[in-house]
Amino acid sequence: MGGYSLTDLVSIMAMQGFAGLILFSVFVLMALGLAIIFGQMGVINMAHGEFLILGAYMTYICSHVVQTYAPALFPVYFFAAVVLAFGASFLLGIVVEWLLIRHLYKRPLDTLLATWGLSLILQQIYRSIFGAREVGVELPPWMMGALQTTDSIQIPINGLIVMGLTVIITIGVYVLIFRSRWGKQVRAVTGNRIMAGAVGIDTGRIDRYTFGIGCGIAGVAGAAFTMIGSTSPTAGQLYIVDTFLVVVFGGAASLFGTIASAFTISQARSTLEFFLSGSMAQVLVLLTVVGILMLRPQGLFTLKVRR
């Protein structure tokens, strides 16, 4: 580490840590949706990345519409876009559950394959509508800057917004699952499906809305994603393996585990990226995670579930 002074190193670590926090936020947003679906229903949704991209395209459309028809509202369009992204992905999720997933609950491996087919179809639809090239969303000026905290440490504002959004969504999910009547029903179905049905919970309906909400959160992740990367029809696929590992590593049914593992993986990766090349950092982190999963297949945190 020859050429760096101590203060340089501290600010590099701080900036790198912050980059890790942004990655962490996106991971959490993606993984939360996946964890709800996987943990609750045991369904592997390979099309999760495409729901994320749907949210991103919704944001893209929203920014264009607002810019053209109501430029005065442009500075705050993003908040409408988040709602729109959630709504679109939620609705698509419900339709997909009704058409496809509910026929396959007894065959989890086949869900994986069917949702992969779905992801191919969605990718092609995006390509037909939006073109194969990457599109970027234009951000209002106030979101573009950076906070200058010290001489050498800059904190980008859009990163802060992504993190704020993550905190809000996480709290929202927590309240929904652990404090609402609906969440109680969801947990009852996860714990013991047959008994939950016997006491009068409509398990089919719970499944449908759970799937929808998981997809909706992916849509919000997509809206957040537009601030740090550009959107293309196949961008969702790049994140799906990482996200699955986050969920499995954390322990599939545990929301807290998901957040903890997203934090560990993203921080490890962004810190290593400074010392190694990006690809080697990714390989090292993935290998470590796979290695730990071989030793502890149930993940870091587990929930007792009666099957």
Site stretch for other proteins (CB under 8 A), options 7-15, 100-108, 133-141, 259-267: 100-108
Considering the rule CB under 8 A, would residue 303 count as an interface residue with other proteins?
A: no
Considering the rule CB under 8 A, would residue 42 count as an interface residue with other proteins?
A: yes
Considering the rule CB under 8 A, would residue 91 count as an interface residue with other proteins?
A: no
Exactly one of 76, 107, 145, 168 binds other proteins (CB under 8 A); that residue is 107
Considering the rule CB under 8 A, would residue 277 count as an interface residue with other proteins?
A: yes
Of residues 185 through 244, those in contact with other proteins by CB under 8 A are 237, 241, 244
User: Which tokens is 263 given?
Assistant: 């934090």
Task: Collect all residues with Cβ–Cβ distance below 8 Å to 194 and sequence separation of at least 6.
Answer: none
Considering the rule CB under 8 A, would residue 306 count as an interface residue with other proteins?
A: no
Q: Are 223 and 55 in contact (CB under 8 A)?
A: yes
Task: Collect all residues with Cβ–Cβ distance below 8 Å to 92 and sequence separation of at least 6.
Answer: 51, 54, 215
Nearest approach, Cβ of residue 38 and other proteins (Å) = 8
How are the residues of the chain apportioned to helix, strand and coil, as percentages rounded to the nearest 5? Answer: 75, 5, 20
Considering the rule CB under 8 A, would residue 35 count as an interface residue with other proteins?
A: no
Site stretch for other proteins (CB under 8 A), options 25-33, 172-180, 181-189, 288-296: 288-296
266: nearest Cα among 248, 243, 287: 243
Considering the rule CB under 8 A, would residue 44 count as an interface residue with other proteins?
A: yes
SS3 231: strand
Nearest approach, Cβ of residue 47 and other proteins (Å) = 10
SS3 36: helix
Site stretch for other proteins (CB under 8 A), options 118-126, 138-146, 198-206, 256-264: 118-126
Exactly one of 76, 95, 128, 149 binds other proteins (CB under 8 A); that residue is 128
Exactly one of 75, 108, 136, 145 binds other proteins (CB under 8 A); that residue is 108
Considering the rule CB under 8 A, would residue 121 count as an interface residue with other proteins?
A: yes
Count the site residues for other proteins by CB under 8 A: 44
Calpha distance 293→261 (Å, rounded) = 12
The dihedral sign for the CA sequence 64, 90, 228, 156: positive
Exactly one of 117, 136, 164, 204 binds other proteins (CB under 8 A); that residue is 117
SS3 301: coil
Considering the rule CB under 8 A, would residue 292 count as an interface residue with other proteins?
A: no
Considering the rule CB under 8 A, would residue 279 count as an interface residue with other proteins?
A: yes
The string of DSSP codes covering 100-160 is: TGGG-TT-HHHHHHHHHHHHHHHHHHHHHHH-SS-B-PPPPGGGT-EEE-SSS-EEEHHHH
Nearest approach, Cβ of residue 61 and other proteins (Å) = 21
Calpha distance 218→56 (Å, rounded) = 10
Task: Collect all residues with Cβ–Cβ distance below 8 Å to 108 and sequence separation of at least 6.
Answer: 42, 43, 44
Exactly one of 116, 174, 182, 274 binds other proteins (CB under 8 A); that residue is 116
Considering the rule CB under 8 A, would residue 52 count as an interface residue with other proteins?
A: no
Sites of contact with other proteins (CB under 8 A): 42, 44, 100, 103-104, 106-110, 112-114, 116-121, 123-125, 127-128, 237, 241, 244-245, 248, 252, 277, 279-280, 282-283, 286-287, 289-290, 293-295, 297, 307
